Amino acid sequence: MKTPFNQELLRSLDLRILAIQRTEARRWWNFKNVISPFSRLWLILDGQARVRHHNREFRLTPGQLHLVPPFTKHDCSCSRRLDHYYLHFISRLPTGNDLLSLLDFDYQIPAASTALKQFQRLEALYPDRKLPCFDPTKEEYQRYPLAAEQVNHDAPAVDSFEANGVLTILLSPFLRTARDHEGVHARATRQFLTVQEFIHSHMHENILLGDLARAVKLHPTYFSDRFKKLVGVRPLEYLMQRRMERAQYLLLTSRAPVKQVASEVGIPDAAYFARAFARHCGQSPSEYRQLHLT
């Protein structure tokens, strides 16, 4: 049985809406291996389509809500038409992880009778928060999340407060079905939340094992052994995973040169960064970026 997730994490959740719009997809809505650093929530109004992720195929039909977590590789296809609302958002923890990437849950549920009004209200609050295009392989689509996050900072506080409340209502039925994902990040968050927060705050710095141990007030050797037992990898190996995932985000959403990305994730030696990235992702940083922008 999977572990119910720690609902205390919800108290520190940073919700930000990036895009909200109603659109009608046609046969052009046919994309493979889509992966983005934000969650997608679709409200299906009319027509039908299909989406595949987590080794399952889902049929999108009227009256359904479908949620795709961040960094989830998925395929989508529409044979005729799909009238739907899309909502792109992040649900970030103080650790820098997105909550929905740490959970397993029912990805498709029946929409409540109020769902359409809730989407319409979000669109009324953010009428200009629309995607520059609908093709996730286009550069302008990939660059959108960082720009949209900045807009969130500049939005009136009362609008953000209301929008977050509406989004919370939409997400609550999904979270009621949620269980901890059995991945490394979920285990690290359950056991070493302070370490996660330290890594997020100091990602750009040279972090040593002693720094991580001090964050939880443990001797480095004892901390390393305990971390390995509870999480499954050594602390510095986990730190490298976090650096590489942050690098993926920056490569997908910014124009920063590879050397700058390396520096921002705490690896000033660009050649070493490129080798580490290739080991982690199976591609060089330039190849990874090119794959998602062509």
**How much is the pLDDT for 3?**
61
Res. 37 pLDDT band, cuts 50 70 90: confident
What percent of the chain lies above the pLDDT cut of 90? 56
Q: Which two tokens stand for residue 243?
A: 């650096």
Cα gap 161→147, rounded to integer Å: 20
Q: Residue 272 burial (CB < 10 Å; 0-12/13-18/19+)? A: exposed
pLDDT of 79 over the 90 cut: yes
Query: What mean pLDDT is predicted for residues 224-244?
Result: 91
**How much is the pLDDT for 197?**
86
**How much is the pLDDT for 75?**
94
Res. 188 pLDDT band, cuts 50 70 90: confident
Cα gap 159→63, rounded to integer Å: 27
Cα gap 74→57, rounded to integer Å: 10
The total number of residues written for the chain in this structure: 294
CB 277, CB 258: distance < 8 Å = no
Q: Which residues pair with 110 in a beta bridge?
A: 64
Q: Which two tokens stand for residue 254?
A: 């910014």
Ranges 36-45, 97-106, 177-186, 278-287: which has the least confidence: 177-186
What predicted TM-score, i.e. pTM, was given to this entire model?
0.74
**How much is the pLDDT for 136?**
65
Query: What mean pLDDT is predicted for residues 134-143?
Result: 63
pLDDT of 184 over the 90 cut: no
pLDDT of 180 over the 70 cut: yes
DSSP line for 19-31:
EEEEEEE-TT--E
For the chain, what is the mean pLDDT?
A: 87
**How much is the pLDDT for 294?**
42
Cα gap 26→135, rounded to integer Å: 12
**How much is the pLDDT for 183?**
67
Half-sphere exposure in the Cβ direction for 99 (13 Å, CA):
26
- Among 288, 277, 282, 284, CA closest to 252: 288
Domains of the chain: 7-180 (2.60.120.10), 184-292 (1.10.10.60)
Burial code (b: 16+ CB inside 10 Å, e: under 16) for 236-258 equals eebbbbbbbbbbbbbbbbbeeeb
**How much is the pLDDT for 39?**
93
**How much is the pLDDT for 153?**
57
Amino acid identity for residue 88 in this structure: H
Cα gap 254→136, rounded to integer Å: 14
pLDDT tens digit string along 92-124?
A: 888 888 889 888 899 999 999 999 999 999 999
**Backbone angles phi and psi of 122, in degrees to 5:** -60, -40
- Alpha helix ranges (H) inside 103-219: 115-125, 139-154, 157-175, 184-191, 193-201, 209-215
pLDDT of 254 over the 80 cut: no
Cα gap 92→178, rounded to integer Å: 16
Res. 27 pLDDT band, cuts 50 70 90: very high
pLDDT of 258 over the 70 cut: yes
Cα gap 162→241, rounded to integer Å: 35
Q: Which two tokens stand for residue 280?
A: 């982690």
CB 29, CB 49: distance < 8 Å = yes
Cα gap 157→52, rounded to integer Å: 37
Residue with tokens 């094992």: 209
Q: Maximum distance among all alpha carbons in the chain?
A: 61
Query: What mean pLDDT is predicted for residues 165-175?
Result: 97
**How much is the pLDDT for 187?**
74
